[in-house]
């Protein structure tokens, strides 16, 4: 009834606002017409003034000024008043529109709660039915299983449940005792499924009754905001229940709070309060206790440090300003812990660390990053900066396998080193030494220094690529590695999707090598394969005892074939194709061989063929 009356009032007020707006528009139109008539009359007076100049000059000056001056001040005043009235009408219309939108949102939230309650009721019934089928004896299932049914009950609107707790705790903080209060509120549906949780700190130095009453008011207000009209309230404080029900009188500060609870109670169609034990309100009790602990932590930290705090936008934790890092150039601030994790992940992917803020392209400075980074990460960061400072076409790596230091080809060309007598040749301009290992190498051939021969002679005597390079290329072909088009680095897909991001920042498809632009592929290849996503539990078992269950030395070879389980189809194929290799080596060797790396199928095939050839021969 109260809601219907409010709707009627809002409708009437809306009609009055529309009438007032229409009247204001009519008055504005009349005012403009009147102004046009006044301006026309003024122009006619100016025309007649030239013909009657002598007559008007003989008249008194006061009368002349009275006729010629229009009432401009009063006109402006009327215009300002009309403008203020129009602005007030617009504000009132916005308030009415806001009220209607809130009412509409309330209906939608109520419908959503009802839908979720029905869905939970169906799920609960299905679980109960499945449990009954599982527990049914086999004989009964064979006799009546085909006719067994348990229809769901018609939908009934169960009252919602409100659990609340107003907690008072005396804590010892920085040499003195302080009384902290908090409230924990949980609203559940008729099946005790949580709908809303409220965890809130209260005022200090409160009595328990006041804290409990304020917590109840907060919970009832939240329930009304959700358009809940039937509610059961559960409380562990008998005094509050007796005061709300009118059995006991509330005095002092508690009196107005109890009156407010009674007013809120009248807004519900069904309202009941029940006295329960503390264990029955464990949800709200836990929330209140957590709010107390949060207050205690903040009080301790603020008193101990006596410094300002800032909230990190990544972890959302309140951190001392001294533990916040500000990025040079953009002034974005984050805590040391989040910055350390961000830089570590960026460096592990071979990317220069920058500001974590979305869309910000500011790079981090090494000197300022020493505040939160350990020495090891600082060294890696310096190395990444040195690599990024050298263009891709100008990068040069030491040809010695144990070194592979990065150098600049342009700097090496400008810094020609004098060769020693032992390395003196007819073509010494290409002789350079590594900046790290000091090993001599040829700048033209990018190989260790070829003593006493020119580059042309070296290429004639060594027409094929370097042995290590050929092995790497062969290994990459067998393992299906891919080479970055931009920086020529080798990349292996160990797990995940086919969208690859190189350490240089180039993104491409692992299947065909096509470039990704703006996080979108330019090819039609599939994005992922389940073999690279789904893990095999047997891969994680590395103990020898786990493999012994498949092999028993006392059994014969036939039983060995029957007891071994092959998760990989390739293993099963080769076990059937090479029985002689199986008998000679035994199943345990094969288990160790094939469980080493199930991602490298072709490499596994090649190794097996070589091993079988040696055993058979």
Of the ranges 30-44, 235-249, 432-446, 484-498, which is most confident? 235-249
Question: Are 329 and 278 found together in one domain?
Answer: no
Tell me, yes or no, whether 252 lies in a domain. yes
Look over the chain and give the mean of its residue pLDDT values, rounded to a whole number: 72
- Position 152 scores a pLDDT of 76
Q: Is the pLDDT of residue 614 over 50?
A: no
**Domain end (from 485, 517, 532):** 532
**Assigned token pair, 317:** 């934790």
Q: What is the SS3 assignment for 484? A: coil
Asked if residue 70 is part of any domain, the answer here is no
Does residue 244 carry a pLDDT above 80?
yes
Give the count of domains, the chain: 6
- Asked whether residue 549 is assigned to any structural domain, the reply reads yes
Please check whether residue 57 lies inside any domain of the structure.
no
Residue 218 lies in a domain: yes
Residue whose entry in the numeric block shows the structure tokens 């804590």: 171
From 365, 389, 413, give the residue that closes a domain: 389
Annotated catalytic residues are: 497
Helix (H, G, I), strand (E, B) or coil at 425: coil
Task: Let me know whether 488 and 410 are in one domain.
Answer: no
pLDDT of residue 63: 41
User: pLDDT of 473-482, one tens digit each?
Assistant: 777 778 778 8
User: Is there a domain that residue 304 lies in?
Assistant: no
452: CATH: 3.30.40
Q: Are residues 90 and 171 in the same domain?
A: no
Is residue 461 predicted with pLDDT exceeding 70?
Answer: yes
- Asked if residues 149 and 186 have their Cβ atoms less than 8 Å apart, the reply is no
Q: Tell me what pLDDT residue 554 has.
A: 40
CATH number at residue 175: 3.30.420.10
Same domain for 88 and 132?
Answer: yes
User: Range with the lowest mean pLDDT among 334-343, 483-492, 566-575?
Assistant: 566-575
The reply to whether 185 and 291 lie within a common domain is yes
Judge if 399 and 382 occupy the same domain.
Answer: no
pTM of the model: 0.34
8 A C-beta contact, residue 185 and residue 164: yes
Residues 13 and 110 in one domain: yes
Domain-located, residue 309: no
The answer to whether residue 154 sits within a structural domain is no
The domain of 184 spans 160-298
At residue 213 the predicted structure's pLDDT band, cuts being 50, 70 and 90, is very high
Q: Is the pLDDT of residue 595 over 70?
A: no
Considering 389, 415, 442, which residue would you say is the last residue of a domain?
A: 389
Asked if 275 and 344 sit in the same domain, the reply is no
**Is the per-residue pLDDT at 243 higher than 60?**
yes
- pLDDT of residue 226 exceeding 90, the answer is no
pLDDT digits (tens, 9 = 90+) for 270-297: 999 999 887 787 678 888 888 877 776 7
Q: For residues 542 and 463, what is the distance between their CA atoms, to the nearest angstrom?
A: 45
Checking if the pLDDT of 584 tops 70, the result is no
Both 257 and 362 in one domain: the answer is: no
443 and 563 share one domain: no
Statement to judge: residues 192 and 270 lie in one domain: yes
Q: Say if residue 372 is in the same domain as residue 492.
A: no
Who's near 247: CB < 8 A, 6+ residues apart?
Answer: none
* Distance (Å) of CA 115 to CA 126, 178, 433: 17, 45, 76
In the chain, % of residues over pLDDT 70? 66
């Amino acid at each position: 009834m109260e809601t219907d009356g409010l709707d009627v009032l809002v409708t009437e007020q809306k009609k009055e606002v529309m009438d007032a707006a229409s009247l204001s528009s009519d008055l504005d139109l009349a005012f403009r017409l009147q102004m046009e008539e006044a301006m026309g009359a003024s122009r006619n007076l100016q025309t007649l003034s030239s013909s009657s100049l002598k007559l008007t000059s003989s008249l008194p000056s006061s009368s002349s000024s009275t006729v010629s001056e229009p009432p401009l001040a009063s006109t402006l005043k009327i215009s300002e008043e009309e403008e203020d009235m129009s602005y007030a009408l617009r504000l009132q219309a916005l308030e009415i529109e806001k009220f209607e939108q809130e009412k509409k949102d309330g209906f939608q939230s109520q419908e959503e709660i009802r839908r979720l309650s029905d869905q939970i009721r169906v799920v609960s019934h299905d679980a109960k039915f499945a449990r009954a089928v599982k527990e049914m004896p086999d004989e009964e299932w064979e006799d009546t299983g085909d006719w067994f049914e348990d229809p769901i009950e018609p939908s009934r609107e169960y009252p919602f449940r409100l659990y609340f707790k107003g907690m008072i705790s005396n804590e010892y903080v920085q040499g003195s005792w302080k009384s902290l209060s908090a409230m924990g509120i949980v609203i559940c549906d008729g099946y005790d499924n949580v709908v809303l949780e409220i965890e809130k700190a209260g005022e200090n130095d409160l009595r328990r009754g006041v804290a409990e009453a304020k917590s109840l008011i907060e919970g009832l207000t939240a329930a009304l905001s959700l358009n809940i009209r039937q509610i059961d309230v559960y409380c562990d404080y008998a005094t509050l229940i007796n005061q709300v029900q009118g059995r006991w009188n509330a005095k002092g500060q508690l009196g107005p709070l109890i009156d407010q609870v009674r007013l809120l109670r009248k807004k519900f169609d069904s309202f009941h309060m029940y006295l329960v034990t503390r264990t029955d309100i464990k949800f709200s009790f836990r929330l209140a206790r957590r709010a107390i602990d949060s207050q205690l932590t903040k009080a301790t930290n603020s008193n101990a440090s006596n410094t300002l705090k800032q909230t990190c936008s990544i972890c959302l934790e309140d951190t001392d300003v001294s533990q916040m890092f500000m990025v040079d150039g953009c002034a974005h601030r984050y805590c040391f812990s989040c910055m350390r994790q961000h830089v570590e992940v960026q460096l592990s992917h071979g990317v220069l660390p920058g500001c974590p803020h979305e869309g910000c392209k500011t790079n981090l400075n090494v000197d300022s990053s020493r505040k939160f980074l350990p020495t090891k990460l600082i060294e890696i960061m310096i190395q990444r900066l040195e690599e990024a400072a050298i263009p891709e076409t100008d990068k040069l790596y030491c040809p010695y396998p144990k070194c592979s230091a990065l150098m600049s080809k342009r700097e090496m060309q400008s810094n020609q080193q004098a060769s020693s007598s032992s390395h003196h040749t007819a073509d010494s301009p290409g002789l350079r030494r590594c900046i790290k290992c000091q090993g001599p190498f040829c700048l033209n051939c990018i190989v260790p220094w070829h003593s006493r021969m020119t580059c042309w002679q070296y290429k004639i005597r060594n027409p094929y690529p370097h042995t290590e390079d050929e092995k790497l290329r062969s290994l990459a072909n067998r393992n299906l590695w891919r080479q970055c088009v931009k920086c020529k680095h080798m990349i292996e897909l160990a797990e995940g999707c086919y969208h690859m991001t190189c350490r240089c920042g180039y993104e491409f498809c692992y299947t065909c090598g096509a470039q990704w632009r703006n996080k979108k592929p330019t090819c039609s290849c599939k994005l992922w394969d389940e073999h690279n996503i789904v893990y095999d539990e047997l891969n994680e078992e590395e103990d020898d005892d786990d493999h012994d269950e498949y092999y028993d030395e006392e059994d014969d070879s036939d039983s060995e074939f029957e007891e071994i389980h092959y998760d990989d189809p390739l293993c099963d194929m080769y076990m059937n194709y090479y029985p002689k290799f199986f008998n000679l080596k035994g199943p345990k060797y094969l288990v160790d061989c094939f469980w080493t790396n199930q991602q490298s199928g072709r490499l596994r095939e090649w190794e097996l063929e070589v091993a079988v050839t040696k055993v058979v021969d």
